[in-house]
Amino acid sequence: MEAAYNDKMVLITGAGAGIGQALALAYAEQGAVTILVDKNEAGLEQTGALLQEAGYDSLSFVVDMSQSEEVVRMIRDVETLAGRLDIVINNAGFGIWKSPYDLSIEEWDSVVNTNLRGTFICSREAARLMRTTGGGAIVNISSTRAMMSEPNSEAYAASKGGILSLTHAMAVSLGPDRIKVNAICPGWIETGDYSSLRAEDHTQHPSQRVGRPEDVVRACFYLTDPRNDFVTGTHITLDGGMTRKMIYEE
């Protein structure tokens, strides 16, 4: 049986580590040609090496997602080299955890410009290419922080909340071009040593476990499956049920 994403061109930002790296390997295993994007050149090389060792083709671009001209140039290069884009997963992002009294405007801008503006520019430029080749799918990685917060997370929360609004707006705008746009809101997804987690880390989740990158992979597979073209403008909360759990301090 032919692999599910055979010969599809799949672009993944933040592909140098963690969830992005897991996505790159998973889509490659399903037959896709992966396009790896990250500002961390060493991380990109590591992901590229893992793919090469497994016998998979990929393209790599060192890009700072906060710099719009770099994002635009990268998509133009993809068009030149590959001629098409079928799937984009906007995964790149980071946070700065500081009191709002101490967070500088420059720090705010660095988070929002990477997480939110970078997602918009990448999606828009990718859509320009997708609409010439029959459409495609865009998945934006938001966060449960779009809906609930801890202290000192203002820039990150604002960027992730913006990504949810951007997702449904672009789904409406790009629908006529047969481009579906959805989001995933992960909670705790452990990208380090899973075996080092404590029992209470798992049991605080209604699912009785902390999430893994593979959980995000499966959600992305669902949202990018061409058969699920009726699913657009929405988001999947992927948090083991934590946003539905009432917690009282004793």
pLDDT at 4: 82
CATH topology of domain 9-244: Rossmann fold (3.40.50)
Which of 5, 27, 156, 222 does the annotation list as catalytic? 156
pLDDT at 250: 64
Q: What is the pTM of this model?
A: 0.97
Amino acid at 230: F
**Average of per-residue pLDDT across 76-92:** 98
For the question of residue 194 being annotated catalytic, the response is: no
pLDDT range class, residue 48, cuts 50, 70, 90? very high
Burial class (CB in 10 A: 0-12, 13-18, 19+), 54: exposed
pLDDT at 98: 98
The number of CA neighbours under 13 Å toward the Cβ of 52 is 9
Separation CA 236–CA 93 (nearest Å): 18
- Helix (H), strand (E) at residue 124: helix 118-130
**pLDDT tens digits, 156-165:** 999 999 999 9
- Examine the pLDDT at 2 and tell me if it is beyond 60: no
pLDDT range class, residue 1, cuts 50, 70, 90? very low
Q: What 8-state DSSP symbol labels residue 83?
A: S
Average pLDDT, the chain: 97
Domain boundaries, the chain: 9-244
**Average of per-residue pLDDT across 166-189:** 98
Joined together, the tokens standing for residue 213 give: 């990158």
- Which residues fall within 8 angstroms of residue 112, CB to CB, at 6 or more apart? 155, 158, 159, 162
The total number of residues written for the chain in this structure: 250
**Average of per-residue pLDDT across 193-204:** 97
Proportion of the chain above pLDDT 70, given as a percent: 99
- Cα–Cα separations (whole angstroms), residue 165 to 30, 79, 115, 125: 30, 28, 13, 18
Neighbours of 97 (CB within 10 A): 12
